[in-house]
Structure 1
């Protein structure tokens, strides 16, 4: 049991650094409106990781500013009911989000620690990792116990940025299979559609 726990913690640490490192068998699940959504099985989890990729006619700085607008980003993040900044320190941020779930499924909330990494090509990687004990749990919400992922912004020239949004999560509690299966497609698709719509207005 202890060995399993150590392996789980090690896996989480590796995934936190590499961005869902164990989700490698990516299969195209949807190609709609210029957005490609890929899914991958994750060893030891019944939930699939998701990855969305799209080209957006905006530069990296514009997209970074939109993502760092914590309250404003809730408007384009899929199923976001509320989002607020908890702490910002040395280039890291901690955010709190409430996630809408269809009745009768209990709503989720999540605390995410975000660290940013600039790349040599002028791009940006924003690493995400859940920190469920950062603040006390709220009544009426199920705290998401595990989440790792990343935003990857790659400049393509001529004011175009390739945006990749990738997440693997354990949502906690019980989630019906129909909801889990739809969420992993809808989350990247709708989030990237929303971000693109806002970014291309700037």
Structure 2
């Protein structure tokens, strides 16, 4: 028979193991159908992974993700976005603005999108910061560290799709704790939840 303290340690250990993924992400919150995992990185970076399920299909999700002009309607704190001319439908550069409250300077992301759909119908979409892709003329702080990945998987029997979004960024660098948490964890969770609602409303 385990002593009470030993039993408590065993329970805590098992709980932590269940809440952590194999690549080090730890479950932070679970609000309804949206799960938010976090992983601390070097410096002030943080990786966040958000997972949910939507009643939609992969191509509808891809179409929405490619519509940069609509980002302010559902992407957290986005106040404008556009695709830079010269790419291809599955390999292009985009710019997205991040609106911050006064007195903090607004930020922007300039990143390269590369995406493909495999034989199983899974869409993988990577977003890699390319801060020197276009001249900086906005007066905003351009992020140098930003990597994102969308993996959108069709569920069996046409029962919808699994949305998984992973982001690593230094967008919270130099900001107070409350705003850093909002941008780094609350922002991705709200964005994915908004995307799910947007996709389901269009069915």
Tell me which interval the TM-score lies in, with the shorter structure as reference length: 0.7 to 0.9
Give matches, 1:11-50, under 5 Å. 24-42=23-41, 44-50=42-48
Could you state the TM-score of these two structures normalised by the residue count of structure 2? 0.82
Q: Tell me what 1:14 maps to.
A: none
Higher CA-based Rg: 2
Give matches, 1:48-67, under 5 Å. 48-67=46-65
Structure 2: gaps of 5 or more residues: 1-21
Preserved contact between residue 29 and residue 185 of structure 1 (Cα < 8 Å): no
**Count of residue pairs the alignment pairs up:** 179
TM-aligned CA deviation for residue 105 of structure 1: 1.2
Q: Tell me what 2:132 maps to.
A: 133
Q: Does 1:168 align with 2:168?
A: yes
Q: Tell me what 1:108 maps to.
A: 107
Q: Tell me what 1:92 maps to.
A: 91
Poorly superposed stretches of 4+, deviation over 3 Å: none
Preserved contact between residue 108 and residue 144 of structure 1 (Cα < 8 Å): yes
Structure 1: gaps of 5 or more residues: 1-22
Could you state the TM-score of these two structures normalised by the residue count of structure 1? 0.83
